[in-house]
């Protein structure tokens, strides 16, 4: 098993993601961290956190990858397939944990993960 390192960058990135109500993009994280670390370090830390089952990736409708905290995942085994909502107005991505779509896959197909993104306007933008 690969040993995990807890660097200041890793600690701060995980804290940002865990405290956010919406998923964060790499650029969101880079802006919030300021000069703490460079963009390559952020990519490496995000990859490591995903492998450890602490965060998951969401590819939104415009192709931007966002990251959100995992609930109950470990060691790269992600078992939280759920909906994600992309707000077309404020560009936020929110995990919708309490809605899990039912899908039927043809026989002999093996699903490892899926990414459902619904787009529209979030509750903050429709007011």
> Phi first, then psi: what are they for 97, rounded to 5°?
-70, -30
Architecture in CATH for domain 8-120: Orthogonal Bundle (1.10)
The per-residue pLDDT for 3 is 45
Distance (Å, whole) CA 34 – CA 38? 9
- Any binding-site annotation on 95? no
- The two three-digit tokens of residue 73, written as one number: 């995942």
The per-residue pLDDT for 74 is 62
Q: What is the DSSP string of 38-49?
A: -HHHHHHHHHHH
- The two three-digit tokens of residue 99, written as one number: 């809605």
List average pLDDT for each run of 10 residues in the chain, which is 127 residues long: 67 95 94 91 94 88 89 63 87 84 87 82 88
The per-residue pLDDT for 70 is 85
CB atoms within 10 A of CB 109: 6
- Any binding-site annotation on 90? yes
The per-residue pLDDT for 97 is 78
- Any binding-site annotation on 122? yes
The answer to whether the predicted template modeling score (pTM) of the entire model surpasses 0.85 is no
- Any binding-site annotation on 125? yes
Distance (Å, whole) CA 33 – CA 35? 6
The per-residue pLDDT for 79 is 61
């Amino acid at each position: 098993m690969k040993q995990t390192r807890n660097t200041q960058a890793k600690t701060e990135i995980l804290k940002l993601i865990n405290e956010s109500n919406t998923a964060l993009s790499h650029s969101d994280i880079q802006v919030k961290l300021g000069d703490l670390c460079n963009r390559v370090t952020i990519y490496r830390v995000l990859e490591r956190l995903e492998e450890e089952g602490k965060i998951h990736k969401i590819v939104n409708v415009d192709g931007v990858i966002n990251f959100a905290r995992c609930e109950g995942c470990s060691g790269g085994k992600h078992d939280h397939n759920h909906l994600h909502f992309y707000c077309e107005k404020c560009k936020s991505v929110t995990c919708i944990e309490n809605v899990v779509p039912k899908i039927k896959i043809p026989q002999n197909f093996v699903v490892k993960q899926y990414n459902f993104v619904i787009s529209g306007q979030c509750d903050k933008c429709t007011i």
